[in-house]
Structure formats: structure tokens, C-alpha cells
Amino acid sequence: MSTIHYRKQKVGAVEVFYREAGPVDAPVLLLLHGFPTSSHMFRNLIPQLADRYRVIAPDLPGFGQTKAPPRGQFPYSFDALADTIVGFVDAIGLTRYALYIFDYGAPTGLRLAMKHPERVAAIISQNGNAYLDGFSDEWGSWQAYWRDPSEANREACRPSLAPDTIRNWQYGTGADPALLPPDGYELDIAYMARPGAEEIQLDLIQDYRTNVALYPDFQAYFRAHQPPLLAVWGKHDPAFIPAGAEAYKRDLPDAEVHLLDAGHFALETHHQEIAAYIRDFLARKMA
């Protein structure tokens, strides 16, 4: 089993924390986490891939162990998250990689792919949305905040950050409770309780509208560059429904889609199945 190393990389004013495992000369798999988690979500996946791939999983600014300037001194937007990851990739010398995109990691990673399409060998989307088809009907408070960034609408989004929401809605919906470890959601709840964390997350919720505005550009990137794509999707996700996985086939006819009997955080309960799909896919697409 490959040893996981825990490293830091300075990117401008941000100190990016990341996990790395696997041979330094192996094909690279860049793992981008989502909301409200961190690279900790990949703790079970990394060992299952690192024998064959150099696996790298950074924490985005505002998440996990990455150190970024406080709100007001750093723009907590998806453009800024993507710029940081572009700088991170450049700093550690990655020139070719497969992307694993999940939740917030999808709009972040797809910005990266549009900026440097020549670097992207393949994409694995695990509940990483890029189509309006993928939205459930449970986005009302966020969509209201996008339309009108009033203080009242901001406060209406705050329950999305509450411990019960993280534990029971984000992690618990559609997951077998006997298989769902508490480690992931309890760590995310602790991170959310840090001073200033909620306000940063509310800023990102408001900025999420920019991701939706970029969906046509993401789709144009797919059509133009035809990256090999694997969608492995927890079909009980309360936020991103299976139609979002199937929609990739409109622009990427050869996309491979697998729907799992899991929720949004499918890796918490189905990391072995996801690892098997990834190994098979990348063995064919990155050979």
C-alpha cells in the first residue's frame, strides 16, 4: 500500500494543503473535493488508486487545512478557487492529469480544464454537475439569493451550513446508515464551526450563480475537446439528480455513466465500487 504524504504548497497568499500518494512518475489523478468537505473525503479512495497513479488531492481555499487570507482580504469566489488550483498545479509541475470532480470541485475543475484543455487526459465526475438537468427542486433558497443578494436571502441560506443539514441531508440522504461512517460529516461540522467559516461559505453560495452561468461554456468545452468522461453518481443525491449524469452524453456521446445506490457523498459508502470503475476507465483512457 502506497504511503500518503501530507504536504503544503504556497500559491500567492494561499498555503494549499494537499494529500499525495503513488509513484512520482505515474500518470496523475487530481482529486477536487466539494462542499462542505475537504480532501479528507478521498481518504479511502487514494489507497485504492495509488499503486498505479500519482494521486493528488488539495484542499480548496476556505476548506480543510488550506490556509488563505480572511474574508475581505481574499475573494472567496469560484474564479478565485480555480485560479488558486491553476497556480497549485503549475507550482508542483503538473502538465497532464485526469480530473476527479465532485460538487464544488466540478465548476472549479472545469474552469481549470477550459484554461488548459491540453492538460486534461480524462474526467471523472462524481456528482459533479455541469447541466441544468442535474438540479433537484431543493435549491430554492440558494436560487433566491442568486437573484437577490439581500441580507434576508443570505440568512435564508444559513441553514445549509447547520450540523443537522450536513449530517442528515448532505451525508445521510440515500445512504445506508449502517455503512455511513461518522468521520466525514463530523469533521465537516467541526470545520464549519471555525470562526468566519460560515460567512466564507455564504459568499461562495452567492457566487455559485457564476457556475450556472458558465454551464454553456463548460458544455462547449466538452464538444470541442471531447475529453474521455466517466460519471459515477450517487443516484439518491438530494441536490444533483441522475439526469445531470446522463446529460453529459449530449455533448460527450462516449461518456460512461454508472448510477450507484448511494447519496451525494457516495465515496463514504461506495469507495470500492467507485475505485473499480476508475481503474477500469483510466486503464483504457490513459494507456
pLDDT tens column, 189-214:
999 999 999 999 999 999 999 999 99
Q: Rounded to an integer, what distance in angstroms lies between the CA atom of residue 95 and that of residue 93?
A: 6
Q: Rounded to an integer, what distance in angstroms lies between the CA atom of residue 185 and that of residue 172?
A: 9
pLDDT tens column, 227-248:
999 999 999 999 999 999 999 9
The pLDDT value given to residue 1? 61
Angle, to 10 degrees, between the axis of helix 182-192 and the axis of helix 197-207?
A: 100
Transcribe the chain into DSSP letters: -PPPEEEEEEETTEEEEEEEES-TTSPEEEEE--TT--GGGGTTTHHHHTTTSEEEEEPPTTSTT-B-PPBTTB--SHHHHHHHHHHHHHHTT--SEEEEE-TTHHHHHHHHHHH-GGGEEEEEESS---SGGGB-S--HHHHHHHH---HHHHHHHGGGGSHHIIIIIIITTTS-TTT--HHHHHHHHHHHTSTTHHHHHHHHHHHTHHHHHHHHHHHHHHHHH---EEEEEETT-SSB-THHHHTHHHH-TT-EEEEES--SSTHHHHHHHHHHHHHHHHHHH--
The pLDDT value given to residue 190? 98
CATH H-level superfamily of 5-285: Alpha/Beta hydrolase fold, catalytic domain (3.40.50.1820)
Q: Rounded to an integer, what distance in angstroms lies between the CA atom of residue 124 and that of residue 49?
A: 13
Q: 0.85 exceeded by the pTM? A: yes
Are 8 and 17 in contact, with CB atoms under 8 Å apart?
yes
Other C-beta atoms closer than 10 Å to the C-beta of 209 total 16
Phi/psi at 257 (nearest 5 deg)?
Answer: -125, 130
Q: Which three cell numbers stand for residue 261?
A: 445506490
Q: Which of 162, 161, 180 is nearest to 172 (CA)?
A: 180
264 tagged catalytic:
yes
Q: Which residues of the chain have pLDDT under 50?
A: none
Place of cell 472549479: 108
How is the chain split into domains, by residue range?
5-285
The pLDDT value given to residue 282? 98
Residue 20 vs residues 47, 65, 142: alpha-carbon distances, Å = 10, 14, 34
Transcribe 217-286 into DSSP letters: HHHHHHHHH---EEEEEETT-SSB-THHHHTHHHH-TT-EEEEES--SSTHHHHHHHHHHHHHHHHHHH-
- Residue type at position 105: G
Tell me how far apart the 2 most distant CA atoms of the chain are, in Å. 52
Active-site residue, from 40, 264, 270, 271 = 264
Go through the chain and tell me how many residues it has.
287
The pLDDT value given to residue 135? 98
